[in-house]
Chains A and B, each alone.
Chain A
Amino acid sequence: MPAATATTEIRRVDCDIHPILRSGLRDLAPHLTDDWRARFGMAKPLATDQFGAAREATVEMPRSPFYFPTPGAFRKDAVPPDGGPPASDPAHVVAHHLEPNEIDRGLLLGQNMFGLGAFVQPGYATALASAFNDWLEATWLEADQRFRGTIVVAPQEPERAAAEVRRCAERSQAWVAVMLPLRNALMGEAAYHPIYAEAERQGIPIGVHISGIEGVFPSAPPMPGGIPATYFEVKSTYTTVYQANLASMVIRGVFEQFPNLKLVMTECGIGWLPELLWRMDTNWKALRDEAPWVKRPPSEYVFDHVRFTSQPFVEPPTAKQVRDFCEMIQVERTLMFASDYPHYDFDDPTRTLAQIPKPARRAVEAETALDFFGERLRRPGPVAAGAEA
């Protein structure tokens, strides 16, 4: 891979690419201690299931047994030539996505870890997060200088999560954000504060991404109102969970307490944003004495501290409605392009960006991300230098 120089122009950033473990959590075995390998049934002799068959591991990531998209979760054309799950081969992601779509920087969000916040064994979650980060660094971040990592942490153990943020961020500049799987606790709660404090100290944003386990486990973020029956319902309404989390952070004063904290909401929906901003600003006028630390209109905290990724982009009936929406959310400040490769609901950058009003297009394509993630995203690398522990 030819080394890029610091002056190489970065024209396009993809804020949501999902690297997939080829053989599931067992791929993490080389990055776990002997003790954890034994605990997770990854050491010989292999554990057996109730029928006596050997198991590759006795640990599973919490995930939904109910909701599956009929088209399948992945683009059918994203399977690597030598098999394995889509996006399980860094070289193939480069050839199949980065190159043809002219992606200069791609943020990697570990889909296999989305359910981490629902683990009822806090120690398991912490151990898996660290192993996953080490796997991502060795397998992906060192494979191509365009990839950037997001540090997975276990919210069940916030102090150890903060230590994990520190460990990764100080080891390599290739980590550009934290990926925070959520528990059944809103993001304004003090239990998350140690993680916010460390992210702020390191100057990297906190990121959240839909998990697919919302409402599925008591330890996961609940869905509002009840239990959806179909993936169709979940896909249409899981965004409500992230509205609640954003309101929680703003109204409980997280951005007053951590004035340099940044948040990126990935694949959490964007169409709801005008309504939430308007409601919060209206309610602030009547209810400010309940949260007197909210010293500015709530929308201002969002515009100053929070960014959203574009995929799945809104599809209202007319182009005018897209333009009106872009104006409402100050798209030139708030939105960053994401493709969600290799998922079935992938957004093509050319088509998506063409819908953004022209004066804001460069911002959505790269500039907002470059500003938000800063030097860690901009600089060439990470290959070689500084990548060693």
Chain B
Amino acid sequence: MRERLGEVSDFRDGEITVREVGGRSVGVFRDGESFYGMLNICPHRGAPVCEGVVTGTMLPSPPGEYVYGLDGLVVRCPWHGWEFDLRSGESIGPVDKRKLTMLPVEVEGDAVYLAPRRRI
């Protein structure tokens, strides 16, 4: 059974909105017309990862050079600073094989739904 999370306009672009759904804390990241859902639990030490800063990061580069990218697509966990790509849940680098637990979010008309959980 899917859960209605709200109207599209309830979700600010470029931010993670945290909702309680069935006793779980869930984050919904809006990137323009795309929505990404995830458990608000960091796979590293269980921090409320969705309360972290949404930012960009330095992309792999030659020694001494900095190349900034993924602006607005990365969450930096508020506890230990691990970075995750908000679209895939993968750690940046990747520095670790653990990922955010992504949840399917569907938009229908003006409504945003958390779809029944399946492995994605």
B92 interface neighbour in A190, A288, A293, Cβ under 8 Å: A288
CB pair B58–A292 under 8 Å, yes or no, is yes
Chain B residues whose C-beta falls within 8 Å of the C-beta of A288 in the assembled complex: 58, 83, 92-93, 95
Chain A residues whose C-beta falls within 8 Å of the C-beta of B93 in the assembled complex: 284-285, 288, 295
Give Cα A288–Cα B91 distance, bound, in whole angstroms: 11
Give Cα A297–Cα B94 distance, bound, in whole angstroms: 10
CB pair B62–A286 under 8 Å, yes or no, is no
Give Cα A190–Cα B63 distance, bound, in whole angstroms: 11
Q: CB within 8 Å of B: which residues of A?
A: 190, 252-254, 256-257, 284-290, 292-293, 295, 297
Kindly state whether residue B21 has any CB partner on chain A within 8 Å. Answer: no
Chain A's interface: helix, strand, loop or mixed, by majority?
helix
Q: CB within 8 Å of A: which residues of B?
A: 44, 57-67, 80-83, 91-93, 95-96
Chain B residues whose C-beta falls within 8 Å of the C-beta of A254 in the assembled complex: 63
Q: A253-B64, A254-B63, A289-B83 are in contact. Are A284 and B95 (CB under 8 A)?
A: yes
B60 interface neighbour in A190, A285, A290, A293, Cβ under 8 Å: A293
A285 interface neighbour in B58, B64, B66, B80, Cβ under 8 Å: B80
Chain A residues whose C-beta falls within 8 Å of the C-beta of B60 in the assembled complex: 292-293, 295
CB pair B58–A289 under 8 Å, yes or no, is yes
Q: Residue among A253, A285, A286 with the most chain B CB within 10 A? A: A285
CB pair B63–A257 under 8 Å, yes or no, is yes
Chain B residues whose C-beta falls within 8 Å of the C-beta of A190 in the assembled complex: 64
Give Cα A284–Cα B59 distance, bound, in whole angstroms: 14
Q: Residue among A286, A295, A297 with the most chain B CB within 10 A? A: A286
Give Cα A33–Cα B82 distance, bound, in whole angstroms: 59
Chain B residues whose C-beta falls within 8 Å of the C-beta of A252 in the assembled complex: 63
Ordered by A's residue number, 18 sampled pairs between the chains whose C-beta atoms are within 8 Å are A253-B63, A256-B63, A257-B63, A285-B81, A285-B82, A286-B82, A287-B81, A288-B83, A288-B93, A288-B95, A289-B57, A289-B83, A290-B58, A292-B58, A293-B60, A293-B63, A293-B64, A297-B95
Give Cα A252–Cα B63 distance, bound, in whole angstroms: 7
Q: Which residue of A lies closest to B81 (CB)?
A: A286
CB pair B61–A293 under 8 Å, yes or no, is yes
Chain B's interface: helix, strand, loop or mixed, by majority?
loop
Chain B residues whose C-beta falls within 8 Å of the C-beta of A297 in the assembled complex: 95
CB pair B61–A286 under 8 Å, yes or no, is no
Chain A residues whose C-beta falls within 8 Å of the C-beta of B83 in the assembled complex: 288-289
Give Cα A254–Cα B96 distance, bound, in whole angstroms: 22
Q: A285-B80, A286-B81, A286-B82 are in contact. Are A292 and B91 (CB under 8 A)?
A: no
CB pair B67–A285 under 8 Å, yes or no, is no
Closest 3 CB pairs of A and B: A253-B63, A286-B81, A292-B58
Distance (Å) between the CB of B23 and the closest chain A CB?
Answer: 30
Q: Which residue of A lies closest to B95 (CB)?
A: A285
Distance (Å) between the CB of B119 and the closest chain A CB?
Answer: 25
Give Cα A3–Cα B80 distance, bound, in whole angstroms: 61
Q: Residue among A287, A288, A290, A297 with the most chain B CB within 10 A? A: A288
Q: A285-B80, A285-B82 are in contact. Are A256 and B96 (CB under 8 A)?
A: no
Q: Which residue of A lies closest to B62 (CB)?
A: A293
Q: Residue among B63, B65, B91, B92 with the most chain A CB within 10 A? A: B63
Give Cα A289–Cα B95 distance, bound, in whole angstroms: 11
Q: Residue among A254, A256, A289, A295 with the most chain B CB within 10 A? A: A289
CB pair A286–B57 under 8 Å, yes or no, is no
Distance (Å) between the CB of A289 and the closest chain B CB?
Answer: 4
Chain A residues whose C-beta falls within 8 Å of the C-beta of B65 in the assembled complex: 293
Q: A284-B95, A288-B93, A292-B67 are in contact. Are A257 and B62 (CB under 8 A)?
A: yes
Give Cα A256–Cα B65 distance, bound, in whole angstroms: 12
Distance (Å) between the CB of A176 and the closest chain B CB?
Answer: 27
Chain B residues whose C-beta falls within 8 Å of the C-beta of A257 in the assembled complex: 62-63
Q: Which residue of B lies closest to A284 (CB)?
A: B95
Give Cα A90–Cα B96 distance, bound, in whole angstroms: 52
Chain B residues whose C-beta falls within 8 Å of the C-beta of A253 in the assembled complex: 62-64
Distance (Å) between the CB of B55 and the closest chain A CB?
Answer: 9
Distance (Å) between the CB of A11 and the closest chain B CB?
Answer: 40
Beyond contacts A288-B83, A289-B83: 15 other A-B pairs, Cβ-Cβ < 8 A, are A253-B62, A253-B63, A253-B64, A284-B95, A285-B44, A285-B95, A285-B96, A288-B92, A288-B93, A289-B58, A289-B92, A292-B58, A292-B59, A292-B66, A293-B62
Distance (Å) between the CB of B65 and the closest chain A CB?
Answer: 7
Chain A residues whose C-beta falls within 8 Å of the C-beta of B92 in the assembled complex: 288-289
